Chains A and B, each alone.
Chain A
Amino acid sequence: MTAIESRPPASMPLLRTACIVGVSVIGFFLPRLLGGTSAAYSTLTTIAIFAVMCYGVDVVLSYLGEVSLGHTLFWSIGGYTAANLSVKYGLNGWDTALATIALCVAAAAFLGAVTLRTREFVFSLVTYAAAVVAYEVAFNWDAIGGSDGIVGIAALKLPFVVTTFSGATEDELWPVAFVLLLLTLAFISRFRRSRLGTTALMVQMNPALAASLGVNPRRIRLAVFIISAPITGLAGWLYAYQRAYVGPDMFESYFLVMMLTAVVLVGRRVLIGPLIGAALLIAQQNLLSLGGDWNKIVLGSVLALVLIFWPAGLVGLYRRLSKNKP
């Protein structure tokens, strides 16, 4: 074995695996531990879905350092695909999920290709413009739902071997949401250590080094963007089944601001950051709502102040405080 051949990566320590399994099991039973009410199930399912939605933006923001203002496009593609295909053609959950992934990848590829030749922040503007156009299309195209959207989306059906898993009520939908969340976390974890992920990070941190190594930042951006799209798309897919209603409201800034705040609040490149961020935001909205106007002030202030004073998020603040301890 020569020096330039690398060793195979060391396997994860057993303790770490056990911890992850343990936390996962607790997480799965969390709604039951919190009372088993339909409110517990629906809130945690919502948090899981919104967290997965945020992870799509997190991939682009944390690892690429760019702001995608168009992820509501993929969120909506997921929702509309699930709604249209299941209501009009009776397709089951697997089919609609696959269609979602395919459409999101295609849309991201198209948009990303458009930005291949633009400057950095123009990427954000292009994603924003795409979301606006897509909103107008969704609003005006009656065939896919029109301004009132699609109602009566049937319960999620996932045929599995001999049985069919059905997600008709909140407690039935929770395992699907939880599994989706776990899959997303696993995917992000792999992505962080993959070549694409580390290259993207290098492009963000030290563009000169990346250039000297022959890396094309725009192609990296395209690849990362394409990977991030189906994540948010699948969150939208599941949201359609949970809410049983899909409409142009999926393009609203409510979701965009939630995505950005969740990612920024806890800190970038923290694996469970977006999950905690999403949980905090939903908790504030449901438990500590101060009224529509004050909520806007609080949400906007959090977003602005965190980035101005603690750009590394709450995690960064924590690190700074613990460093200052004697």
Chain B
Amino acid sequence: MNKTMKLAAVMLLGLTAPVMAQDIKVGTIFPLSGGAGPDGQTVTNAVKLMVQQINDRGGLLERKLVLISKDDESTPAVGVSRANEMIADKVDVVIEGWNSPVTLAMQPILARAGVMDITAVSKSDLILSGQTNPYAVRINSSNGFDAAVIAKYVAETLKAKKVAFLTQNDVYGNGFQAAVEAEFKKLNFAGEVIMTEKFAFKDTDFRVQLTDLKAANPDAIIVTNSSNSSGLPAMVEQYRQADLKSPFVGAVGIMLTTVFKVAGDANNGIVSADIFFPDLPPFTTMPESASFVAAYKKAYGAAPDKSAALGAAALQVWAHAVEATKSLDRKTVAEAIRGKTIKATVFGDAQFLPNGQMQPRYVLFRVVDGKNAKLEALE
């Protein structure tokens, strides 16, 4: 009888084994076509790379990761459709978000269906307000914290007396400006804001605003422009053409690869800050970071920029939380991230606030060779 029981047990195990080794589905929803297509593609590629690395190391919870990528075409209505498709495909996590309106539209859909939703790049504060998703997690930095490093530089390092703003006229741009001005108050800033010029996200001709700014001749111009594919490079070139002598201080995270590629040497002298660099410390000294940069270079032929790092980190954070809690349940995984620290991501140790916001490490930099995107870290 013992032998029969043992045989039956082995057979049962053999039958149930394939069921236990079911793949874990990871979904990504980013713009893969249209103006933001190349950016969304970068983030998706980074996630793909991470999925591959995890699979090479034996998978997650001993199950293979399968990646399903969808295109939201930067249109909220399409994003909602893709989110519904993800739900129907029964994915275990969705990593999404380049454009804030698309994220905001998808969040309630995914939340209602109980699917874990991690926002990689979208910057709107509403994403973490809890109204759309009580278990939200966002990797990219938020305006509130970004403002501190820029305000500090302008107030204390440049010691500017007259500051001007060149701000993108939407919630993101206006929000960043408001946050910087609030920081100025906190720092008891001795100078004053003498001028604010605004523009629309889609604008590509800024000579009217630059003319006004040149006449005012401020000690620093704080520029917030997230149109990395057309508006910002055009603005940088026109800034040089107008021969504006005021230092160009860029908001956190706007100097992406395309800006360097298109505007080249016109970027020289720009000061800004960001939360990830493939070739600046402290990231060059972090093993996870350095190996990611090397692997990305090998797989895609170029160094990863901040967007790629955000995608990679989104997957890493989720995977670590799943590994730690041995669960795929949304509430469990989210609570292992929100308010906790996830170690060994491409950002190093990633600290999360209780509302799901990742706390980044800022590095202030100056552009020394725009054509080759060579930066020097400032302190």
Listed in ascending order, the chain A residues whose CB lies under 8 Å from chain B are: 37-39, 42-43, 46, 139-140, 142, 146-149, 151-152, 169-170, 243-245, 247-249, 252, 254-255, 282, 285-286, 289, 291-293, 295
Contacts and interface: CB of A to CB of B under 8 A. Distances in A.
A44 to B, nearest CB: 12
Contact of B108 (A43, A148, A245, A293): A245
B33 A249 contact: no
Contacts of A147: 101, 170-172
B33 A291 contact: yes
A245 B126 CA distance: 11
A148 B33 contact: no
Nearest to A258: B77
Given A39-B84, A285-B81, A291-B33, A249 B170 contact: no
Interface residues of B, number: 35
Contacts of A42: 84
Given A151-B104, A151-B126, A249-B75, A244 B132 contact: yes
Contacts of B105: 243, 245, 247, 249
B94 to A, nearest CB: 15
Nearest to B130: A152
- Chain A interface helix/strand/loop/mixed: helix
23 contacts: A38-B87, A39-B87, A39-B88, A140-B169, A142-B171, A147-B170, A147-B171, A148-B100, A148-B104, A148-B126, A148-B171, A149-B104, A151-B131, A152-B132, A244-B108, A247-B101, A247-B104, A282-B81, A285-B81, A291-B32, A292-B33, A292-B37, A293-B33
Contact of B80 (A148, A243, A293): A243
Contact of A292 (B71, B170, B171): B71
Contacts of A286: 81, 84-85
Contacts of A248: 101
Contacts, number: 91
B129 interface: yes
A149 B171 CA distance: 9
Given A151-B131, A169-B112, A243-B108, A249 B87 contact: no
Interface of B is mostly: helix
A152 B132 CA distance: 6
Interface string B119-151: 000001010010110000000000000000000
Contacts of B87: 38-39
Contacts of B113: 38
B78 interface: yes
B354 interface: no
Contact of A43 (B31, B84, B104, B172): B84
Interface string B28-46: 0001111001000000000
B75 A139 contact: no
Contacts of A254: 75, 77-78
Contacts of A169: 112
A4 to B, nearest CB: 53
Interface string B84-105: 1101100000000000110011
Given A39-B87, A152-B129, 16 more contacts: A39-B88, A43-B84, A142-B171, A146-B171, A147-B101, A148-B101, A148-B172, A151-B126, A152-B131, A243-B80, A245-B132, A247-B101, A247-B105, A254-B75, A285-B81, A292-B37
Nearest to B76: A249
Contacts of B131: 151-152
Contacts of B172: 147-148
B274 interface: no
Nearest to A296: B33
B143 to A, nearest CB: 12
Contact of B124 (A43, A148, A244, A252): A148
Which of A140, A169, A244 has most chain B Cβ within 10 Å?
Answer: A244
A217 to B, nearest CB: 35
Contact of B73 (A152, A245, A292): A292
B362 to A, nearest CB: 24
Contact of A149 (B77, B101, B108, B109): B101
Contacts of B112: 169-170
A252 B170 contact: no
A43 B131 CA distance: 24
Contacts of A243: 76, 80, 105, 108-109
Interface string B159-183: 0000000000111100000000000
B171 A255 contact: no
A152 B88 CA distance: 23
A152 B130 CA distance: 9
Contacts of A148: 100-101, 104, 124, 126, 170-172
A147 B34 CA distance: 20
Contacts of A170: 112
B73 A139 contact: no
